A and B are shown apart, each in its own frame.
Chain A
Amino acid sequence: MGSTNSTLSKIPNVEELVQETGFTPAHIVRLYDRFEALDKEKTGHLRPQDFGAINRLAINPIGDRIIGAFFSPGQETVDFHSFVRILAHFRPADKKRPKDPSMPEPVNSRTSKLKFAFQLYDQDKDGKISRAELLQVLRSMLEMQVTEEQLESIADRTIQEADLDTDDAISFEEFRKSLEKVNIDHKMSIRFLR
């Protein structure tokens, strides 16, 4: 039928993606178009440089970390499925879903979003944000605008506020507790208009 879109047939395992991520087929098509637009050399994979070509991302202070979130440790390329799976973290939470403890946590729930943000800080994935890791994030966000002492005092103050078991690091539970009043679903969600 000529009036159906041929892009959908180009994407392998679409139903699986829809099930896993909760994106509608139309959204997946748009994401695929975007993936193809970023993949200038048509290799079917994206490398960090392809993300670097996005101008607004290049001027984002934590742009490099966001790009890093797409690549699993040791991997240098990301295929379309992984691309969509990472983006699925930013889908607005499904309000109508009943809380079923036997089902695995959906990828866009509040907890999953928090875990994803936690990994931004916790680069070595040991489950804790150490002082050094926090300093690293601060450094990339502020770079030459503040002095090293200012950075250290900010890091100290932040850990003091959030660290409840005084181990000089922020665990995931402490992270979650310090952000319990923030509307995560609103601030960490992307809404598609069409």
Chain B
Amino acid sequence: MCDRERSVAMEDFWAIVLAGLKVWVCLIVALLMVPAMFGFSLGISETYMKILVKILEWATLRIQTVNKEQQILKSSSFNGLVQRDDGSMEEELRGLRRSRPKPPVGGDFTLSDCFYFYRRGIEDIIEDEVTQRFSSEELVSWNLLTRTNIDFQYISLKLTMVWGLGVFVRYCILAPLRIMLASIGLTWLVIGTTAVGFLPNWRLKSWLSEWVHVMCYRICARGLSCTIHYHNKENRPRKGGICVANHTSPIDIVILCNDGCYAMVGQSHGGLMGVLQRAMARSCPHIWFERADMKDRHLVTKRLTDHVNDKTKLPILIFPEGTCINNTSVMMFKKGSFEIGGTIYPVAIKYDPQFGDAFWNSAKYNMVSYLLRMMTSWAIVCNVWYLPAMHQQEGEDAVQFANRVKSVIAHQGGLVDLSWDGGLKRAKVKDTYKEEQQKKYSSMVVGSEEDRSSNSD
């Protein structure tokens, strides 16, 4: 008797579980996938974001009141760690030498000169402009994620409870949902593009391929809880052009492809990525290179030029920085993509770090742990600005053109425009820079050439 009762109870249990699963799947399809496929929104994510913003504001106020009681100083939103004197070498050295009488010939050496270099050196040891761009931006106020908690103070029980609830919601409710959505999105992408690939080359094929791509990227975006605001849509990249953007993470591709179809450029991988790449290439032309081919710049330029010159092909998406930067600055643009001669459509992408840090620190996290971190943040919120098309002007070489585009993107996105090469995070700097510093200093010690020549008469 007991056994039969038990087996009946088990069957009932499984029936309930199955029914629950069916309801769950129907809800997902209706509320998340259908809107994603057809591009309208039911307003669920907007409500979620509003609630989230209210909670974070409340948390910030609580932390501020406690800090005020303990009289802890909080600085402004400047992202540096140490205070830097912005004076040039000449100004600083003159300040150090102020107490001495002015020498007859331009130029002087004092024992205190080295203080300037010493201090600069120590400042750079604690924090330097380049290395700081490869770690995540610090927030002004805590956003209830442990990973961004720097000041580790216990504030109040309420705050800790809200944080605990946040952990539960993020890891147990949102993360599984997002993982499921992302896998559905990617699977659909592979199946859809392969299916479209079987059609003969009609106009219908390209329209369908675009629709499949955008739909699947929208599902992936829901899988990361992305809220994207597009600005200046009239400047959107057109066929036969090159779209250029600043690079923060692999998610940039999902962000941009939510609003248009692009041809990707990159190295062909094996494994899961390879399956994805081959499927995508079946439905519309992308540019995938073998590893050996990437070294051959001539070949790379030729393939890109051919693609650009064919006006029926989609605009190419290129990230000229070549590496992921932490979204506070834009680093040197490699000139390769600017030598091709097509129309450049600059795009600026700025993430809002309050809801989740999108920067991929490839030294610290591999792709899988990075994606898991993304899926357990609150949300990814970003702004995308489409900037007016730019062409290479008369008498301007590729490097100058690249710098011009870079400063436009930095200006729009509110990012710092740096001229350092992002590749420097792995390589050493050239000796010519050191000689420049020495030259500058020597003009203050022995006087510049003009001083010396005028005195020798």
Contacts and interface: CB of A to CB of B under 8 A. Distances in A.
Interface residues of A, number: 60
A187 B97 CA distance: 12
Interface string B135-152: 100000000001001111
B122 A66 contact: yes
Contacts of A175: 111
Contacts of A8: 152
B111 A61 contact: no
B191 to A, nearest CB: 41
B428 A54 contact: no
Given A61-B117, A187-B115, A142 B438 contact: yes
A181 B123 CA distance: 24
A190 interface: yes
A1 B149 CA distance: 12
A162 interface: yes
A141 B438 contact: yes
A34 B126 contact: yes
B439 A117 contact: no
Contact of B112 (A4, A52, A59, A179): A179
Interface in A1-57: 1-5, 8, 26, 29-31, 33-34, 37, 51-57
A3 B149 contact: yes
27 contacts: A1-B154, A1-B160, A3-B149, A3-B152, A4-B154, A5-B151, A29-B150, A34-B126, A52-B428, A53-B428, A54-B124, A55-B428, A56-B124, A57-B128, A58-B433, A141-B438, A157-B109, A158-B109, A175-B111, A179-B111, A182-B96, A182-B112, A187-B95, A187-B96, A187-B115, A190-B123, A190-B126
Given A62-B114, A145-B439, 14 more contacts: A2-B167, A56-B130, A57-B121, A58-B429, A58-B434, A60-B117, A62-B121, A141-B114, A141-B117, A142-B438, A158-B110, A182-B96, A188-B119, A192-B81
Interface of A: 1-5, 8, 26, 29-31, 33-34, 37, 51-63, 66, 87, 90, 117, 120-121, 137-138, 141-146, 150, 154, 157-158, 162, 170, 175, 178-179, 181-182, 184, 187-194
